[in-house]
Amino acid sequence: MLIKDIMTTNVQTVRLDDSVKKAASVICLRKFSGLPVLDDNDNLVGMITEVDILRSIYPSYAELFNDPNEFKVFDDLSRRYGATAHQKVGEVFTKKVYSVEPDTPLLNALSMMVSKHIRRLPVVDTSGRLIGLVSQGDIHQALFHKEFLVEESKA
């Protein structure tokens, strides 16, 4: 089975000049962990993730883990978020993005995801234009759904 057989083609994206607030809203409302970032020519240039946004709010990011009690002051959190919300996606997104082409076998994509510690892969055509997205969950369902259906029918 190939990525083109299971990829999502209606992909929510953001652009470099969109606000972080817009990206964060889409991420939260749609329950995504990240979004592809496109340039003005619809070429994939990166991803913006929950972690990118948190790093923008807490520049060292380790602050959250080292002393979480220090950040119980919500005024500070609001101030930091307020400053970040007005930044542009282009200021905080991850530029190094791994992607696959539609004819990539599922297990090759899954291997890349596991080795690179990523949960979703943009699917691009040969010119670098975004045409879809595939997640670890999509691959998991494709690999195991049929097996579970067979076991259920035997029960």
Q: pLDDT tens digits, residue range 4-19?
A: 999 999 999 999 999 9
Task: Please name the residue that has the structure tokens 């329950």.
Answer: 31
Q: Per the structure, how many domains does the chain have?
A: 1
Class of residue 49 by CB neighbours under 10 A (exposed 0-12, middle 13-18, buried 19+): buried
**CATH code of 29's domain:** 3.10.580.10
The larger pLDDT score, comparing residue 35 to residue 154, is at 35
Q: Is the pLDDT of residue 149 over 80?
A: no
44-92, pLDDT tens digit by residue?
A: 999 999 888 888 877 655 555 556 565 555 566 666 666 777 889 999 9
- On average, the pLDDT of the chain sits at 85
Tell me, what's the pLDDT at 37?
97
**What whole-number distance in Å separates Cα of residue 27 and Cα of residue 147?**
32
Q: Is the pLDDT of residue 138 over 90?
A: yes
Q: Is the CB of residue 46 less than 8 Å from the CB of residue 117?
A: no
**What whole-number distance in Å separates Cα of residue 32 and Cα of residue 69?**
27
Q: Which domain holds residue 49?
A: 3-154
**What whole-number distance in Å separates Cα of residue 42 and Cα of residue 129?**
6
pTM: 0.79
